[in-house]
Amino acid sequence: MVEKNSTLKLIENRRTIRAYSKKELTQEEINTIIHGAMRAPTAGNMMMYSILQITDQDIKDKLVKTCDNQPHIAKAPLVLIFLADMQRWWDYFSISKVPELCEEIGEKFDTPQESDLLLASCDALIAAQNAVITAESLGIGSCYIGDIMENYEIHREMFNLPKWVFPIAMVCFGYPRGDKEKIPLTSRFPQKFIHFKNKYQRLSEEELTEMFQNSDRKIVDKKAKNMGQEVYLRKTGADFTKEMRRSVKAAIKVWLSENDE
């Protein structure tokens, strides 16, 4: 490993912050975070995302409920929703008469498909992580909320989202309450299980077992006899995940639908 410079130290010491001090963020700080997000790499320099800042306390309170009852959302001084956004480009294509051009040259004019949703989601998430690191450099902590992908119909209505806009991630920001260094850094799997060269390596039973040695994960669910059962019961098979699956299916159905909603 190379000697740690200030950027490497920042990345190494980041931890998710869920308890925020009451200190508000200044407009300069918010602008700096948004600017940092917008300097992120973006496919084809197309910026296939939008950033929705939630300033209304009632909406934050509602998000607590629609995002799996997470009270820290309501207490975060800055809440940003990162939207995968293809609407802007397709509206621009429309006013630019791209469908007419396609007709003229005998090309099919395609509307956004699954790949466009994934690419726009890549853009939005990379921008979100740039926002996280920018905030971190100002001493401002953050917490991703993946549950924004749940309750698609409610969020669509709440935020007036057209069909080619999908909320892929929400991030809460705020100065940490208390000493953030006291929050232990979470462990990661050893690199050899994550980093492969040239070919994907499917892990054997022994390797999968070894992967969990030295992990800081704890078995909490009384029904779970091992870590696989624990993670399935509390995450992958939990009610919030079931809702996320339902919600994302519904969103993709709208994204791919023929009718112009």
Ligand X SMILES: Cc1cc2nc3c(=O)[nH]c(=O)nc-3n(C[C@H](O)[C@H](O)[C@H](O)COP(=O)(O)O)c2cc1C
Binding site for ligand X (CB under 6 A): 15-16, 18, 70, 143-147, 169, 186
- Alpha carbon separation from 123 to 49, 130, 165, 253 (Å, rounded): 6, 11, 13, 21
Q: List the structure tokens of 199.
A: 């070919």
Task: For the CB of residue 184, give the shortest distance to ligand X in the complex, in Å.
Answer: 9
Give me the torsion for CA of 124, 125, 126, 131, rounded to 10°.
90
Alpha-carbon span 188 to 216, nearest angstrom: 9
Nearest-CB residue to ligand X? 146
* Closest approach of ligand X to the CB of residue 145, in Å: 4
Nearer to ligand X, 97 or 188 (CB): 188
3-class secondary-structure state, position 66: helix
Residue 76, both tokens = 């975060």
- Angle made by CA atoms 93, 42, 167, in degrees to the nearest 5: 75
The answer to whether the beta carbons of residues 114 and 256 sit under 8 Å apart is: yes
Considering the complex, state which of residue 17 and residue 163 has its C-beta at the smaller distance from ligand X.
Answer: 17
Residue with smaller CB distance to ligand X, 30 or 145: 145
Minimum distance from residue 19 beta carbon to ligand X (Å): 11
Q: How far is the CB of 69 from ligand X (least distance, A)?
A: 10
Would you say 144 or 232 has its CB closer to ligand X? 144
Phi and psi at 111, nearest 5°, equal -90, 165
Contacts of residue 31, Cβ cutoff 8 Å, sequence gap at least 6: none
Paired residues of 145 in beta bridges: 170
Q: Which of 25/63 has CB closer to ligand X?
A: 63
Q: Rounded to the nearest whole angstrom, what is the least distance from the CB of residue 71 to ligand X in the complex?
A: 10
Cα(257)–Cα(117) distance, integer angstroms: 13
The residue (of 144 and 159) whose beta carbon lies closer to ligand X is 144
Spatial CA neighbour of 42 closest among 14, 82, 94: 82
Which residue lies nearer to ligand X by CB, 42 or 70? 70
Distance CA 145, CA 66 (A): 11
